[in-house]
Structure 1
């Protein structure tokens, strides 16, 4: 069996490792534009901030390792065309410009994503950088060392992590985003406000609700111009978001409107023997029950693993995702799963929420911390569809628990009565997860009481 793999970051790496175990006689050809595999881009901010000193630690597989296991690694190779019906592809060696044709029995598309790059005037100036791969990370480190004024465009996870890293390196930092809040895709305002306050306390300029119109400078960027102002910039890092890197397959396999490849629960595309995994494709969202584009390393690893298991025949179905993620900014430990209240409403769900802010230990304990926890649930079914947490202490694992609940269609009543242990060092007699679900139950009971009163 000849297997061609296009792209080798998280999904590609997981697919290869599992194919080697499951089908030791398979001939594997890997085509990767970069000279490395398995780069953890989530570590770029840690590298910039000096938390990680050795960038080689941001890899968990190597070209040499795969080659020693018999994998044909075509590094610095760009796939220029692919005919999925004829099972043929063409790849160009970026270094020599040599082009070769290859055939395969099974194709695995793990071509990943690429940063969104709007057509902004001046984007070709020096020191206007992207933030995605290992080469980007090295450039950001190198070019940030001598500069004073850094502008980060995009207030998602990568953007806010870079802001923290640059500020801790003594830079004057401005964060620009077209939304009115940071992290608005992942968290409701109760959970973003503390982070914004921490940024402002440290002198970070939050230019929110603004859209970049152009970059100005002579050769090198000097200013960022928005629809509401202008900001000095010796370095700009673009973190607007990501798009699926699937141009090669348009018109050949079914896709969402944004180019994300649609796969079934066995990672099979609309074409036989063609599979896709990772940031290049959609995944079923258990909160909405619809396919969605959720580019996360965790999703990519799971999907890549499933491709290998289902390569010969469908045996292991994808359980769906909740888009669960976590973040640490300064003293704030944050995590979320499923949908925010605003995202749920945009998805057409009728939802409500419950919120608690409380000490996590009994008040008699000498040391304590405040936990803020929000639960989003469907009003008709009481099915949990999302949750968020923030605290100076680390309660992020609570969100993993709720993630399991969403995957299994858990209701607020079921969570309220779930058996969690009590020990004063760790929690109260009513665990915070039970507590927030009980708040939701009380809210729904009050609604029923009001309806009955109206009927009377």
Structure 2
């Protein structure tokens, strides 16, 4: 039996490794059109802040490690055609040698590409994106020489890059069409402390979008905004949504209206032996009847595992809905979130109540200056937990995974009030943060 995986993205790599672990006799062929596998685009930030010294370090695993696991990794293999009836993949190796290989199962993991702006002047030089390593190398070289940089998009990607550039003493303009930063992830009240501590060389431009870019000698020099302002800049970085790479399969697979590949709960396409994963698909949202396209590495990993499991266990493993669990670090703040925010709840027709509190950091061995901020969002009727946001100056990032599991298990304020948590006076208070907020929301809605 042979499974071909197209794309050594994070999802493709995970699918290959899971298949080999669960079914060692399976012939797993992983085709990747570039030399680099499992690249983390955040490598740009890591290079700017000297966390790594070479972009090749910004990867999930080495090619040799995959080969050692028995995976047939073929790099510089660009797939040119798929015959879903005869179950054959055609590709060129090194852009010269034409090859083809038959499959029993096919997993599509071609990833995504940074969305392009259709704004006048967007074809000027020094308008950058950094989804893959080639783009990142180009962007890094230009940004190092730039003095004033505009970033379009104040989500995770844009905010993290803004902080990295600010440490290099660049003047940064951050453009966001919404009324606040990180609007898809955090309620406005939760980012107040981040905004108050924003580096002085980062200037926010909220509730506005680029109308056009202008320049001299083919290079961008000005960004003209919809609010009438004009920004002087040496470079512009697009930190906006990605789009799925589906051109290879759009003629024979069913696509959703947003261009993602339509899959069932087992990640099968309209061809039962072809699966799609990672940045190619939407994922269902926990507690709602909707799905979302949100390219995150944790989505890629989970979908890679599930596709492999369904090949091994004959399509019996359903993909669990996402809670959009994610974290970031901005300056001295560690931000984490899971589930639905209070501000987005109306979009899912949910009536909610919420409670927010800043805590003293208890325990004789703790730093009392940290004062973490926790917000829990509950459905109004049953007081079922559906969302959580946590901000601290100490990296307790695993805490958000616990809160995500509470949401997964449909815990209520009543059950959370008696959660079992350790107590040691060196490290904790007798009553856990979650218990305190659960009791508070019960009291307010008694």
Distance apart, 1:265 and its partner CA: 3.6
Q: Deviations over 1:13-68 (max 9, x none)?
A: 01111222333343333332321111122343222222222333222323344345
Counterpart of 1:387 in structure 2 is 388
Instruction: State which drifts further: 107-116 or 302-311.
Output: 302-311
Question: For 1:209, which of 194, 198, 207 is the aligned residue?
Answer: 207
| Contact 2:178/2:206 (8 A) holds in 1 | yes
For residue 174 of structure 1, give the secondary structure of its aligned residue in structure 2: strand
- CA distance in structure 1 between the aligned counterparts of 2:368 and 2:345, rounded to whole angstroms: 37
Counterpart of 2:351 in structure 1 is 350
Distance apart, 1:273 and its partner CA: 0.7
Distance apart, 1:311 and its partner CA: 1.0
Give the direction of change, closer, same or farther, for the CA distance of 1:260–1:383 in structure 2 (3 Å limit). Answer: farther
Distance apart, 1:363 and its partner CA: 10
Instruction: State which drifts further: 57-66 or 379-388.
Output: 57-66
For residue 137 of structure 2, give the secondary structure of its aligned residue in structure 1: helix
- CA distance in structure 1 between the aligned counterparts of 2:118 and 2:317, rounded to whole angstroms: 42
> What is the CA RMSD across the aligned residues, in angstroms?
2.3
Q: Deviations over 1:63-100 (max 9, x none)?
A: 3443455544443333333343442333345x536554
Instruction: State which drifts further: 112-121 or 284-293.
Output: 284-293
Counterpart of 2:149 in structure 1 is 150
Counterpart of 1:378 in structure 2 is 379
Q: Deviations over 1:222-271 (max 9, x none)?
A: 11111121111111110111222223333634443212233334332332
Count, aligned residues: 443
Pairing 1:419–2:430 present = no
Give the direction of change, closer, same or farther, for the CA distance of 1:429–1:49 in structure 2 (3 Å limit). Answer: same
Distance apart, 1:138 and its partner CA: 1.7
Instruction: State which drifts further: 360-369 or 408-417.
Output: 360-369
Counterpart of 1:285 in structure 2 is 285
Distance apart, 1:149 and its partner CA: 0.7
| Contact 1:319/1:407 (8 A) holds in 2 | no
1:223-234 equivalent positions in 2, closer than 5 A: 223-228=222-227, 229-234=229-234
Pairing 1:441–2:442 present = yes
Counterpart of 1:451 in structure 2 is none
Give the direction of change, closer, same or farther, for the CA distance of 1:394–1:71 in structure 2 (3 Å limit). Answer: closer
In structure 2, the gaps of 5 or more residues are: none
Counterpart of 1:176 in structure 2 is 175
| Contact 1:355/1:439 (8 A) holds in 2 | no
- CA distance in structure 2 between the aligned counterparts of 1:98 and 1:196, rounded to whole angstroms: 54
| Contact 1:266/1:306 (8 A) holds in 2 | yes
Superposition TM-score, scaled by structure 2 size: 0.92
Superposition TM-score, scaled by structure 1 size: 0.90
Q: Deviations over 1:411-437 (max 9, x none)?
A: 121112211123334332221111122
1:43-442 equivalent positions in 2, closer than 5 A: 43-67=43-67, 71-93=71-93, 96=95, 99-199=98-198, 201-218=199-216, 219-228=218-227, 229-250=229-250, 252-312=252-312, 313-361=314-362, 367-442=368-443
Which protein has the bigger helix share?
1
Q: Deviations over 1:200-225 (max 9, x none)?
A: x4231101111111211122111111
- CA distance in structure 1 between the aligned counterparts of 2:367 and 2:352, rounded to whole angstroms: 38
Distance apart, 1:392 and its partner CA: 1.9
Give the direction of change, closer, same or farther, for the CA distance of 1:411–1:289 in structure 2 (3 Å limit). Answer: farther
In structure 1, the gaps of 5 or more residues are: 446-456
